[in-house]
Amino acid sequence: MIDVNRRKLVVAAGATLAASTIGNPAWADVAGRKLGYAIVGLGSYGLGRIIPQFKNCEHSRLVALVSGDPAKAKRVAAEYGLAERNIYNYDNYDSIRDNPEIDIVYVCLPVFMHAEYTIRAAKAGKHVMCEKPMAISAAECEAMIAACKTAGKKLMIGYRCHFEPTNLEAIRRARSGDIGKLRYFRSEHGFVQGDPSKWRLKKKLGGGGSLMDMGIYALNAARYMTGEEPISVFATEHTDRKDPRFREVEDMIEFELEFPSGVIGSCMSMYSANQNHIMLMGEKGRIELEPGTSYEGNRLWVGRGRENEITPPPGPGKTQWAAQLDHLSQCVIDNREPIVAGEEGLRDLRIIEAIYRSAREQKRLPLRA
């Protein structure tokens, strides 16, 4: 079913992230102050990408760290001016419940840890931002959503592209009819994996291979660019199992999504080539992004080929990460649901499970709305 209202919200939220603060008594303690984030996992994304972004935020600040490496945590705390009492480890993590400075926990851990650390955060009375993919399985996603609901806490998934200006402009162009009736979507996402001992190449730790890590960008983009939910999927996997990197997880996987309007989505992910590309074809032209979902330097063309580049200028707006962090803070302040709540992560995981099953059984599978 076409969820146009939700898609409108996505676009609107990207354009007007500075929403007003509503005086709701239940949330009054957070109104008028920056919300405090604890970052769990000081790896390449948590430490390298998220932590430096708080300086660009209006409604969010970094207040605590959770890490298994005390020396690293101490060094990072000193660099960002955090109190040493706000450094936690995986054992004393639950005691964040006694720290009123922490409003939101941001889970930046390997995928197999997402459910546990989200549920423990909710039980400790904290709102949660959890990285993509939301969890190892749809069943885990359901448990995370239930835990946050029971605790009365917000749950948002780190789908940063919903806040990225090039993607937002592409969505707007697709909806405005610039390329006529949409017929076809395609996206390839991948990068070259190296060290076979990394968690992303272990089935139990990553939940799968390139599809979980990179194919999810193509899948999520197929949904937010078309504004529709797919009704069926057919997938094929290509993996050299003799390659030590791919003993446990897939390298290449292709999946075709069928949408209710007749749009066909053709997606692929891989762990043996670098690619980051999104294209929409309509009856009157095409919208193309390359790279489409990178941290920086995304480019956008609209027309018949690449003659008409309309990449939005960087401008003074927030970065995609600052907008993402502030969106959850603003949702907590206003007591409203994030545009990429847990249910959005669950939808992707349900489709991902169907993609894996389709590849195994070599059958087109229907998807529930």
Catalytic residues, which ones? 132, 217
- Binding ligand NAD (rule: CB under 6 A), the pick from 5, 16, 20, 44 is 44
> Of 226 and 320, which CB lies nearer to ligand NAD in the complex structure?
320
Whose tokens are 């992230």? That residue is 17
Considering the complex, what minimum distance in angstroms separates the CB of residue 228 from ligand NAD? 23
Strands 35-40 and 60-66, by their bridges, are parallel
> Of 112 and 184, which CB lies nearer to ligand NAD in the complex structure?
112
Considering the complex, what minimum distance in angstroms separates the CB of residue 113 from ligand NAD? 6
x/- string (CB under 6 A) for ligand NAD, residues 90-119?
------------------xxxx--------
Whose tokens are 């059984």? That residue is 361
Annotate 208-276 with DSSP letters as a single string: SSHIIIIIHHHHHHHHHHHT---SEEEEEEE--TTSGGGSSS-SEEEEEEE-TTS-EEEEEEESSS-EE
- Reduce the DSSP state of residue 177 to 3 states and report it: coil
Which window, 36-44, 249-257, 332-340, 358-366, contacts ligand NAD (CB under 6 A)? 36-44
x/- string (CB under 6 A) for ligand NAD, residues 203-242?
----------x-----------------------------
Considering the complex, what minimum distance in angstroms separates the CB of residue 190 from ligand NAD? 14
Q: Establish if 46 lies at the interface with ligand NAD (CB under 6 A).
A: yes
Q: What is the CA radius of gyration of the chain?
A: 20
CB atoms < 10 A from the CB of 181, how many? 11
**Per-residue exposure over 148-168, b if at least 16 CB sit within 10 Å of its own CB, e if not:** beebebbbbbbbbbbbbbbbb
Considering the complex, what minimum distance in angstroms separates the CB of residue 137 from ligand NAD? 14
- The span from the CA of 12 to the CA of 16, in Å, is 6
**Residue ranges in contact with ligand NAD by CB under 6 A:** 41-46, 68, 108-111, 131-132, 158, 160, 199, 213
